Amino acid sequence: MTNDCGSVKDERRTHHAVRDVFLQACALLTPLMKENDKALSTSNFAMTHIVQEHFPELSSSETRVVIAAVARLHCENRLQSLPEQ
């Protein structure tokens, strides 16, 4: 990876598997996030199990990263701007 000046820049991201499934995870979790706005019907514990069931290749820390990222995008009203797959 290079920066704007063309020099090599170190990769800081560590959860590469998350990047591979992120859009699918967003599609999976978006309805749950919207329901939680109304009734807090789905806990983080339940979302963790849902993500792990759909993406068994993710570690537990990667699962938490996915949930936190989707929750943050939802709070910032940016989930709808993600491209559909």
What is the tens place of the pLDDT at every residue in 29-45?
Answer: 988 888 777 666 678 88
Alpha-carbon distances of 6 from 3, 9, 10, 11, 13, rounded to whole Å: 5, 9, 12, 15, 19
Alpha-carbon distances of 28 from 7, 19, 20, 37, 56, rounded to whole Å: 38, 15, 14, 16, 14
Closest CA to 59 of 24, 29, 14, 26: 14
Q: Please, are residues 52 and 58 in contact by the beta-carbon 8 Å criterion? A: yes
Contacts of 5 (CB under 8 A, 6+ apart): none
Lowest-pLDDT range, 6-15, 33-42, 45-54? Answer: 6-15
pTM (2 d.p.): 0.73
